[in-house]
Structure 1
Amino acid sequence: MHFFFYFYFRYYRSGIEMIRMANVYYDEGSLENAYVLYIKFMTLFLEKIRKHPDFLTVPVEVKARNQAKLREVLPKAEKLKQQLLEQYKDDYRRYLNEVKNLELERKKKESIATRDVGEDIPSKQTSTTGGKGFPPASLCLPAGSVRMPDRLDDITYPDPDLAPAKPTAPLPSAPPPSAPSDPRIAIPAIDRSTKPFTDSNDRFDSGSLRAVIVPGKVMTLFQAMAQSNTFKNIETCGILAGKLEQNELIVTHMIIPKQRGTSDSCTTTNEEEIFDYQDQLSLITLGWIHTHPTQTAFLSSVDLHTHCPYQLLLPEAVAVVCAPRYGDAGFFALTPDHGLKFIASCRKTGFHPHPTEPPLFEKADHVRVDQSSPLEVVDLRDK
C-alpha cells in the first residue's frame, strides 16, 4: 500500500493535529501536556519551518491559516505559562513548610530523648551501690581531700536537659532541613493533588505510549466494505481517525477515501477530501487500515514506508492489516528504537528488501479493542 508523504502532510497537518490535542489537554486540566504541545507548535512554525527547502511551495492560504493559528496560540501559551509558574511556586512553598514542620518535630523528639537519658543517670548510679545511695568503698576519697563549700548557695547542679559538654570537641551543628538526622522521619512528598495533571502514560515526557482504543467492529465492517475489491484481488485502504479523551486515543471514525489499488498496493487520491472531513469534526489521525487479499497479516516494505509518516506524526499511530483469506488481522507499528529511524532514512521506493534483524516492526501492544465502542464509517469513494 502506498500513501502520500509530502511536505504539507508532514508538517502542516501535524501542526493542526498538535493543536487539537493540546486543546483537549487544556480543557481536561492537563496543563503541562497542553503547554508542551503549544511550545512545540510555536517552535516548529516560528523558528524551524522557514528554513525548510520546500517552504516556498506551501500555498499562500495554508500559510495564512497557520499564521492565524499562531496568533491564537501565542497568548494562550503565555497565559498557561504563568498558571504553571504559580502552581509550581505554590508547590514549593508547601514543600518548604512541610520540611520546616518536620524539622521542628525532629528537634522536639531529640530534646525529649536527651532529657530521658539525663533522668536515667541517677537510677543507674543507685543500682551499682546496692540501693543505699552511697558510692562503693573503692571509690571513696581520702579524708581531707574534699573541701566543702562555705555556703549551700555556692553549690551548682547540672541541668538534666543539657547533655554533658566536651570542651575539646565542638557541638555539631544542626543538620540541614533537607536531611533530618532521624532516619524514621522522611522528607515530605509534594502534594500533587492540586498540581496540573500529568499521566505516566504521557508520551511527551516519559516515552511511554498512550492507549489506542479501537472499536471491535472496525475489522468486520472494513472487510465487508472491501469485499468486492478482495474478490478481484485488489487491496483496499482506509483512515482511522478519532479523538483524545482522558489521555487515551479513541478511534471514532473510519474514512474510506477515493483510491486506486492493485494486488499488493493501494494509493489514495483526492486527499483534500479527507482533510476537509477531519477538520469539520476536529478529528485526529490515529492510523490506517488496509487489506492483504491473498497474503497474511504483516507489514510489507511498502507498508513500512506508508506507516512511517503516521508514526512520525503520532507515536501511537497504528497500522491495521486484514487478511481475509486467512481470517486474520493484526495491529502493527514500527519499532521505536530502530524501525522508525531506519525507514525514515530509507530513500528507496516500491517493493525492496529490508534487513529483518533487528526487527523493523512489531505488534502494537498499546492497542485495546473495545467491542462496545461506537464507530462511524464514512465512504468518500462515491462522493
Structure 2
Amino acid sequence: MNYSLVQHRDKMKDKVDYKPTKYTSVKNMRLIDPEDRLKALADYGTAVDIDPNIPPRRYYRSGIEMIRMANVYMEEGSQENAYILFMKFMTIFLEKIRKHPQYDTVPVKDRATNQQKLREIFPKAEALKKQLLAQYKMEQIKYLEDAKKREKIEMERLKREEEQRLKDEEDRKNKLAARTAANAAKAMLGTTSSVTDQDIVAKKPIVTRPQSPIKDIKPPRTEEKAIPEVDRSTKPRLLDKHALRDVILPNKAMTEFLLLASRNTMLNKETCGILAGRLERNKLLVTHVLIPQQTGSPDSCTTHKEEDIFDYQDQHNLITLGWIHTHPTQTAFLSSVDLHTHCAYQLMMPEAIAVVCAPKYQDTGFYTLTADYGLDFIANCRTSGFHPHPTQPALYTVAEHCKLDSMALINMVDLRK
C-alpha cells in the first residue's frame, strides 16, 4: 500500500469531532465553524464500504465515472460536491478496494490507470480544501454579522415595547388616583351626585390613553426598523445521505428500446440495455441506451463483452445511470434476480434506476431499492438465482427522483451488431 498517499488523504480531514448543533442564537453557532463544516464534508465522502459480491473491476469503472462527475462539478462551481467525490475516490482506492477478496484479479492496466488518477486528484482535492475553508470563513463572518444585526434590532423592539408598557401603566395609575381623589372630595362635600370622568377632566386636566391589554401594544410605525433578511446561502447545511439527484429520462427511451427489443419480445425473450448519460447542474441526464451483446430467456437476460460498453462510455464521456429491460409476458416489477442485478448499480450510483417495460400489459415501471432497508437487505443476501424474498418491509419502490422528459432526445446504441 502506498502509505504516503494514504497519509496525504488523511491530512485533508480535520480532526475535530463532528457533533450537530442547532443555531438558535448568536451564542449557539458551533456548527457554522469552518473547520466543523469541512470535517463533515470529508466524513461524508469517506463513509463508503466495499461489497465483496461486486467484482472489483466494477469499482474501478465506477471510479472513472466519479472523476468525470467531479470534473463537471468543478466546471459548474460546485466545489462541495467535487470534494466529496474526490474523498470517496481516495477512500475506495487507497484502502478499501485492497480488502476485496478478488483484488488480485484486477488487471495491471486498470491499477496503473487508477494510480495515475490518484496522483492527479491529490492537488485538486488539496486546492478545493483551501477554497472551501476560505469560503466557509467568509460565510461564517457574514452569517454572524446578520445574526447580530437581527438580535440588536430585536432587543431595541423589546425595549420600545417595555417603555410603552411602563408609560401605559403610569397613565392607568394616574387615572385611578384622580378618580379616587374626586370620590373623596365628593364625600367631604356631602353631595349625592356621582362624579364622572368628565367632571374630573374639567377640574384638573389629566392626559389619558385608551387602555388595552399589554399584548396588543405596538410601537409607533415611524419608530420601527426593517429587520434585514439573512442570506440563507450562508447558513450551514447538514448533509442528507438519502438526498437523491433527479434522473431525467426521455420518454422516447422506452419507445425506441421496445422497437429494438421487438424481435426478442416476439420470441418471448428478455432484452436489456444500459442507461448512460451525463451530469449537468446537479441533475443526471440519460442521453444514451446501450444495448450490449446478450442472451435472453423468458425470465432473464445475460450480457456479454462488457468491455464494449466500457470503451463506448470512455469515448463519449458517459456515466452509468441504471438499466432497462423487458418482461415479454409479465407485468412490470422487479424479480429476485432483478433486485440483485439492480443492487450492484445502486451501490455504485445511489440514483441508479431500473426501468421495466412490459409490452403485453402496456406497462412501464421505474424502480429503486429502498434506501432504508432494501439496499442493505439485498446486498447481504447470498442466495443466487430465483428465490423468495420477504415482501415487508418493501425491498423496492417507485423511483420518485426519476423525471420523464417528453422533449429530450435519446441515442440508441446497439452493440449487438
Q: TM-score range by the shorter chain?
A: 0.7 to 0.9
2:311 matched to which residue of 1? 276
What one-letter code is carried by the residue in structure 1 that aligns with 2:83?
A: Y
2:219 matched to which residue of 1? none
Once the two structures are superposed, the pairs formed by residues 1-383 of structure 1 within 5 Å of their partners are 5-9=54-58, 11-105=59-153, 191-193=231-233, 205-382=240-417
Contact 1:91 1:190 in 2 (8 A): no
Secondary structure of 1:304 counterpart: helix
Q: CA deviation at 1:54?
A: 2.1
Query: Bigger shift: 237-246 or 16-25?
Result: 16-25
Contact 1:15 1:41 in 2 (8 A): yes
Secondary structure of 1:221 counterpart: helix
Secondary structure of 2:279 counterpart: strand
Higher-RCO chain (CA-CA 8 Å, sequence separation at least 6): 1
Q: CA deviation at 1:186?
A: 12
Q: CA deviation at 1:377?
A: 0.7
Give the TM-score of the pair, scaled to structure 2: 0.70
Contact 2:143 2:235 in 1 (8 A): no
Measured against aligned partners, the alpha-carbon deviations of 1:4-60 in whole angstroms (never above 9, x if no partner) come to 952211x21221122222222222222212211111111111222223232222111
Secondary structure of 2:141 counterpart: helix
- After superposition, the Cα gap between the structure-2 partners of 1:104 and 1:302, relative to the gap in structure 1 and judged at 3 Å, is closer
Residue segments in structure 1 that go unaligned for 5+ positions in a row: 138-183
Contact 1:102 1:185 in 2 (8 A): no
CA RMSD, 1 decimal: 3.2
Contact 2:56 2:100 in 1 (8 A): no
What one-letter code is carried by the residue in structure 2 that aligns with 1:8?
A: R
Query: Bigger shift: 356-365 or 122-131?
Result: 122-131
- After superposition, the Cα gap between the structure-2 partners of 1:227 and 1:84, relative to the gap in structure 1 and judged at 3 Å, is same
What one-letter code is carried by the residue in structure 2 that aligns with 1:346?
A: C
**Higher-helix-fraction structure:** 2
What one-letter code is carried by the residue in structure 2 that aligns with 1:91?
A: E
Larger radius of gyration: 1
Give the TM-score of the pair, scaled to structure 1: 0.76
CA distance in 2, matches of 1:81, 1:120: 58
Q: CA deviation at 1:252?
A: 0.3
CA distance in 2, matches of 1:37, 1:186: 42
- After superposition, the Cα gap between the structure-2 partners of 1:68 and 1:109, relative to the gap in structure 1 and judged at 3 Å, is same
Secondary structure of 2:334 counterpart: coil
Measured against aligned partners, the alpha-carbon deviations of 1:308-330 in whole angstroms (never above 9, x if no partner) come to 10011111111111112222221
CA distance in 2, matches of 1:219, 1:128: 84
- After superposition, the Cα gap between the structure-2 partners of 1:113 and 1:235, relative to the gap in structure 1 and judged at 3 Å, is closer
Secondary structure of 1:342 counterpart: helix
- After superposition, the Cα gap between the structure-2 partners of 1:107 and 1:304, relative to the gap in structure 1 and judged at 3 Å, is closer
Contact 1:242 1:284 in 2 (8 A): yes
Measured against aligned partners, the alpha-carbon deviations of 1:230-278 in whole angstroms (never above 9, x if no partner) come to 1111111110101111221111000001111112111111100101111
Secondary structure of 2:240 counterpart: helix
Identity over aligned pairs, percent: 59
- After superposition, the Cα gap between the structure-2 partners of 1:190 and 1:130, relative to the gap in structure 1 and judged at 3 Å, is closer
What one-letter code is carried by the residue in structure 1 that aligns with 2:82?
A: A
Contact 1:87 1:195 in 2 (8 A): no
1:155 matched to which residue of 2? none
Q: CA deviation at 1:222?
A: 0.8
Equivalent pairs, count: 325
Secondary structure of 1:254 counterpart: strand
CA distance in 2, matches of 1:234, 1:247: 37
1:179 matched to which residue of 2? none
- After superposition, the Cα gap between the structure-2 partners of 1:341 and 1:186, relative to the gap in structure 1 and judged at 3 Å, is farther
Q: CA deviation at 1:118?
A: 8.3
- After superposition, the Cα gap between the structure-2 partners of 1:259 and 1:90, relative to the gap in structure 1 and judged at 3 Å, is same
- After superposition, the Cα gap between the structure-2 partners of 1:245 and 1:116, relative to the gap in structure 1 and judged at 3 Å, is same
CA distance in 1, matches of 2:332, 2:405: 20
CA distance in 2, matches of 1:117, 1:357: 61
Q: CA deviation at 1:216?
A: 0.6
What one-letter code is carried by the residue in structure 1 that aligns with 2:231?
A: D
Contact 1:38 1:77 in 2 (8 A): yes
Secondary structure of 1:73 counterpart: helix
Contact 1:99 1:187 in 2 (8 A): no
- After superposition, the Cα gap between the structure-2 partners of 1:299 and 1:185, relative to the gap in structure 1 and judged at 3 Å, is farther
Contact 2:252 2:406 in 1 (8 A): yes
